[in-house]
């Protein structure tokens, strides 16, 4: 039997029972569409998050105190040797590396901010003026921190918009003195709200000089040193230089971790890839349901078409041929349902893109292939049982069955 | 060309055994025209189904063109049905969603014949049964007589040796019944072996040989001189 004939005969059954066909097309296409849409959302989320990170700059190295678990810091801890603090002097020492353009040491904590009897608890960031440009933040009014030595702690701060309106209302804040913990500082400027930062709400923070921060929190270690390099291609060398300089300063102990911003980006990328695949797999379950539906409908078709099956046998059809006819019919159902689902899924994705321009819905290529293949395979698998039942029918009984 | 040796077909119905055919011995020559008659339940259809390799005997042998069919598997029997045997049924058994042309084409589709050759053969079969102008009609658009003629066209496109007809006029009025009988008799004159199961004594008498069954046994076998 020729493939074109098998396809033609399958086609005649699909149009002969339009209601049945449409129902199964809808079931399969919903499954495929769900895979496309859910993975599009997953990919969109990944794109959004990694975009946020990329906006922080890929030319950054982040130095933090202590070793990673994986690099054996646990042994130090067991020996009772906690890592040496990462100091402001350590940060300054990194300027001797050629490829270092800017350095922003960071100390973080939480303290009450007070003005005129009003008090708010605020996240405090102690850092240097370079932090503003490294983080690509903008000022709404006034200026950021003054450009003085890291070790000097002028009583100056920059505040977020929300803190500003909570403490000052509509009156000007720039030039006023506020109290942060047990210190007094003058407000040099107010941060604009567009600033992007992972995990920090720019509108709520207070930024102070790093030395003031360590004093305020009575802490001898920095939380991070952010290093902005000149040439990204020499990033690894620079990382090695940082490690060796700090090692020398810490009596030969390598007790810091230096990671590339890229690495963080990469791990988020991986997490979201896994998430997208998980979403895709969950959506595939609906394809399975569609497959089971196809099986039931095909079983009904076999008993409805008993007389026809008997006739085909009488005019010389081999069991294998009857089997193929029914399997192909099931595949045609699931296949055309899948194609319909692909078209619907991608069209809806386009509509969503227009409706939510900030969020980039990206159905990954593999989602289309996988959902198509899963639909076809479920057509084969769930078509097999009814087809086998048809092939095994006794010709005499089938001929005398319902017409 | 056909020989049955002590051929039996039993059916188990509950705890009772029905002898649909009981040790039947029979020989049918090439190009013969045989009618099989008998009351309902006498085993006529069972005999025809076994001759057409749709059913297999419980015991005994069926030798077709010198080949013993009792050792054949499903595929071999399907091959012989395709090449050597044509069937006509009381209820026509046309596929409702296919046109007359496509119904006639079906046996050739199953045996993988090219569309060109198929088209030629369907045309000539349609001509033989006088339905050239009905090629694109669906069965529901055809009268009973026309449907049976489509079924006859389908049964002969593969140029079989034997034509088996189980009450071919049973669902037809006298006029179209007569047309159908004439048609298959013409095919017999052209060389086809014809075996017809019928209730109709008048039709039975037209054949060269009349076999009568009762309770699965041949009780009468008479040839025209
Ligand atoms: N599939 C079957 N199962 C049980 N009994 C059957 C079956 N087919 C036929 N029979 C029995 O075999 C006998 C002969 O049947 P059949 O050949 O159809 O008779 P006819 O065609 O002469 O009316 C009847 O008694 C019938 O009931
Ligand atoms: Mg009968």
Could you report the per-residue pLDDT of A240-264, keeping only the tens digit for each? 999 999 999 988 888 888 888 777 7
Q: Is the pLDDT of residue A89 over 70?
A: yes
Q: From atom 3 of ligand 1, which residue's Cα is the shortest distance away?
A: B11
Instruction: Indicate yes or no: CB of B109 within 8 angstroms of CB of A5.
Output: yes
Interface check for B119 against chain A (CB to CB < 8 A): the answer is: no
Whether A158 and A145 have beta carbons less than 8 Å apart is answered as yes
Instruction: Quote the CA–CA distance of A301 and A66 in Å, as a whole number.
Output: 69
Q: What is the mean pLDDT of residues A77-95?
A: 76
Q: CA distances (Å), A155 to each of A141, A209, A254, B70, in order?
A: 18, 8, 34, 108
With cut-offs at 50, 70 and 90, classify the pLDDT of residue A269: confident
CA of B47 to the centre of ligand 1 (A): 10
User: What pLDDT, on a 0 to 100 scale, did the predictor assign at position B217?
Assistant: 96
User: What pLDDT, on a 0 to 100 scale, did the predictor assign at position A356?
Assistant: 86
Q: CA distances (Å), B135 to each of A5, A249, B127, B151, B152, in order?
A: 18, 98, 10, 13, 14
Could you report the per-residue pLDDT of A277-319, keeping only the tens digit for each? 888 888 888 888 888 988 999 999 999 999 999 999 999 999 9
Helix, coil or strand: residue B87: strand
Backbone angles phi, psi at A217, to 5 degrees: -90, 0
Whether A390 and A326 have beta carbons less than 8 Å apart is answered as yes
Cα–Cα–Cα angle for B82, B127, B28, nearest 5°? 45
User: What pLDDT, on a 0 to 100 scale, did the predictor assign at position A199?
Assistant: 63
Task: Give DSSP secondary structure letters for A319-360.
Answer: HHHHHHHHHHHHHHHHHHHHHHHHHHHHHHHHHHHHH-TTS-
Interface check for B170 against chain A (CB to CB < 8 A): the answer is: no
User: What pLDDT, on a 0 to 100 scale, did the predictor assign at position A208?
Assistant: 95
Q: What is the mean pLDDT of residues A260-280?
A: 81
CATH number, domain B2-223, options 3.40.50.2300, 3.40.50.10490, 3.40.718.10, 3.40.50.300: 3.40.50.300
Share of chain A above pLDDT 70, in %: 93
Instruction: Quote the CA–CA distance of A100 and A91 in Å, as a whole number.
Output: 11
Q: What is the DSSP letter of A293?
A: H
Q: CA distances (Å), B108 to each of A1, A335, B80, B161, B194, in order?
A: 9, 28, 14, 16, 21
Segments of chain B scoring below 50 in pLDDT:
none
User: What pLDDT, on a 0 to 100 scale, did the predictor assign at position A402?
Assistant: 52
Query: Rg of chain A's alpha carbons, rounded to an integer?
Result: 33
Q: What is the DSSP letter of A119?
A: E
Residue B98, min C-alpha distance to chain A (Å):
8
Instruction: Quote the CA–CA distance of A356 and A45 in Å, as a whole number.
Output: 13
**Which is nearest to B93 in space by CA: A401, A144, A130, A234?**
A401
Residue A336, min C-alpha distance to chain B (Å):
21
With cut-offs at 50, 70 and 90, classify the pLDDT of residue A72: very low
Interface check for A2 against chain B (CB to CB < 8 A): the answer is: yes
Residue A266, min C-alpha distance to chain B (Å):
57
User: What pLDDT, on a 0 to 100 scale, did the predictor assign at position A198?
Assistant: 58
Instruction: Quote the CA–CA distance of A220 and A84 in Å, as a whole number.
Output: 10
Q: Sheet holding B33-38: strands in order across?
A: B85-88, B162-166, B193-197, B33-38, B209-214, B217-223
Give the residue extent of every domain in chain A: 3-52+266-400, 84-254
Backbone angles phi, psi at B169, to 5 degrees: -105, 5
C-beta atoms surrounding A103 within 10 Å: 23
Could you report the per-residue pLDDT of A322-336, keeping only the tens digit for each? 999 999 999 999 999
What is the Cβ-side half-sphere exposure of residue A24, based on CA atoms within 13 angstroms?
28
Based on DSSP, count helices (H) and strands (E) in chain A, helices before strands.
Answer: 13, 10
Show the beta-strand stretches assigned E in chain B.
2-13, 16-28, 33-38, 59-64, 67-68, 85-88, 162-166, 193-197, 209-214, 217-223
Give the residue extent of every domain in chain B: 2-223
Surface of B (40-69) touching A: CB under 8 A: 49, 52, 54-55
Choose the closest CB to B111 out of A9, A316, A320.
A316
**Which is nearest to B24 in space by CA: B58, B54, B55, B52?**
B58
Q: Which ligand is nearest to the CA of B170?
A: 2
Sequence-distant (6+) residues with CB within 8 A of A161 are A140, A190, A191, A192, A193, A202, A203
User: What pLDDT, on a 0 to 100 scale, did the predictor assign at position A194?
Assistant: 66
H or E element in which residue A108 lies: strand A100-115
CA dihedral B61, B66, B70, B72 (to 10 degrees): -170
Q: Which ligand is nearest to the CA of B40?
A: 1
With cut-offs at 50, 70 and 90, classify the pLDDT of residue A197: low
Q: Is the pLDDT of residue A74 over 60?
A: no
Count how many residues are written for chain B: 225
User: What pLDDT, on a 0 to 100 scale, did the predictor assign at position A315?
Assistant: 96
- Residue numbers in B near A317 (CB within 8 A): 78, 110
With cut-offs at 50, 70 and 90, classify the pLDDT of residue A346: very high
Instruction: Quote the CA–CA distance of A82 and A178 in Å, as a whole number.
Output: 36
Could you report the per-residue pLDDT of A105-153, keeping only the tens digit for each? 999 999 999 998 899 999 999 999 999 888 888 898 999 998 888 888 8
User: What pLDDT, on a 0 to 100 scale, did the predictor assign at position A32?
Assistant: 92
Could you report the per-residue pLDDT of A154-179, keeping only the tens digit for each? 999 999 999 999 999 999 999 999 99
Instruction: Quote the CA–CA distance of B195 and B220 in Å, as a whole number.
Output: 16
Helix, coil or strand: residue A256: strand
Better-scored residue on pLDDT, A47 or B173 = B173
Q: What is the mean pLDDT of residues A384-395?
A: 95
Backbone angles phi, psi at B76, to 5 degrees: -65, -40
Chain A to chain B Cβ contacts (< 8 Å): 69
User: What pLDDT, on a 0 to 100 scale, did the predictor assign at position A254?
Assistant: 83
Instruction: Quote the CA–CA distance of B166 and B44 in Å, as a whole number.
Output: 8
Task: Give DSSP secondary structure letters for A197-214.
Answer: -TT--GGG-EEEEHHHHH
Instruction: Quote the CA–CA distance of B208 and B203 in Å, as a whole number.
Output: 11
Burial class (CB in 10 A: 0-12, 13-18, 19+), B164: buried
Whether A238 and A60 have beta carbons less than 8 Å apart is answered as no
Tokens of A24: 């199964």
């Amino acid at each position: 039997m020729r493939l074109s004939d098998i396809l033609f005969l399958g086609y005649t059954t699909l149009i002969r029972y339009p209601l049945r066909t449409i129902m199964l097309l809808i079931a399969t296409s919903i499954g495929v569409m769900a895979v496309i849409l859910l993975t599009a959302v997953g990919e969109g989320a990944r794109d959004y998050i990694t975009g946020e990170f990329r906006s922080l700059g890929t030319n950054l190295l982040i130095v933090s105190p202590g070793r990673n678990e994986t690099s054996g810091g646990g042994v130090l801890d067991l020996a009772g040797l906690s890592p040496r603090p990462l100091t402001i002097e350590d940060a300054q020492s990194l300027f001797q590396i050629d490829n270092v353009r800017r350095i922003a040491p960071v100390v973080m904590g939480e303290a009450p901010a007070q003005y005129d009897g009003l008090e708010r608890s605020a996240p405090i960031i102690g850092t240097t003026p370079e932090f503003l440009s490294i983080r690509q933040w903008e000022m709404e009014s006034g200026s950021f921190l003054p450009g003085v030595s890291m070790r000097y702690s002028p009583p100056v701060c920059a505040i977020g918009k929300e803190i500003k309106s909570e403490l000052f209302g509509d009156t000007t804040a720039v030039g006023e003195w506020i109290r942060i913990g047990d210190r007094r500082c003058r407000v040099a400027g107010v941060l604009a709200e567009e600033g992007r930062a992972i995990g920090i709400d720019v509108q709520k923070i207070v930024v102070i000089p790093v030395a003031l921060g360590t004093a305020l929190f009575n802490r001898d270690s920095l939380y991070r040193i952010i290093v902005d390099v000149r040439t990204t291609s020499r990033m690894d060398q620079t990382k090695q230089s940082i490690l060796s300089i700090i090692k020398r300063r810490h009596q030969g102990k390598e007790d810091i971790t230096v990671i590339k911003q890229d690495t963080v980006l990469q791990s988020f990328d991986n997490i979201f890839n896994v998430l997208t695949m998980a979403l895709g797999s969950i959506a595939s379950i609906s394809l399975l349901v569609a497959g089971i539906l196809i099986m039931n409908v095909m079983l009904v078709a076999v008993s409805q078409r008993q007389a026809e099956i008997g006739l085909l046998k009488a005019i010389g059809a081999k069991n294998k041929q009857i089997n193929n006819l029914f399997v192909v019919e099931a595949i045609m159902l699931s296949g055309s349902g899948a194609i319909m689902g692909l078209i619907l899924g991608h069209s809806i994705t386009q509509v969503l893109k227009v409706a939510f321009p900030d969020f980039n819905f990206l159905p990954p290529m593999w989602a289309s292939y996988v959902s198509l293949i899963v639909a076809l395979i479920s057509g084969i698998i769930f078509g097999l049982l009814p087809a086998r039942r048809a092939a095994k029918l006794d010709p005499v009984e089938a001929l005398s069955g319902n017409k | 060309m056909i020989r049955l040796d002590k051929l039996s077909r039993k059916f188990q119905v509950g705890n009772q055994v029905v002898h649909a055919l009981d040790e039947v011995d029979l020989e049918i020559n090439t190009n013969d025209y045989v009618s099989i008659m008998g009351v309902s339940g006498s085993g006529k259809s069972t005999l025809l189904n076994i001759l057409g390799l749709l059913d297999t005997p419980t015991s005994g042998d069926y030798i077709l063109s010198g080949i013993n069919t009792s050792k054949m598997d499903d595929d071999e029997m399907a091959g012989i049905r395709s090449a050597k045997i044509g069937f006509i049924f009381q209820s026509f058994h046309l596929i409702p969603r296919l046109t007359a042309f496509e119904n006639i084409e079906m046996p050739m589709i199953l045996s993988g014949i090219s569309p060109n050759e198929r088209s030629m053969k369907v045309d000539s079969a349609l001509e033989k049964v006088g339905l050239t102008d009905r090629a694109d009609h669906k069965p529901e658009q055809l009268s009973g007589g026309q449907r049976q003629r489509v079924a006859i066209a389908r049964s002969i496109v593969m140029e079989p040796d034997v034509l088996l007809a189980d009450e071919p006029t049973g669902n037809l009025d006298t006029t179209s019944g007569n047309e159908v009988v004439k048609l298959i008799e013409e095919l017999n004159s052209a060389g086809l072996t014809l075996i017809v199961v019928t209730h109709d004594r008048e039709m039975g008498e037209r054949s060269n040989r009349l076999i009568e069954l009762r309770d699965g046994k041949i009780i009468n076998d008479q040839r025209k001189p």
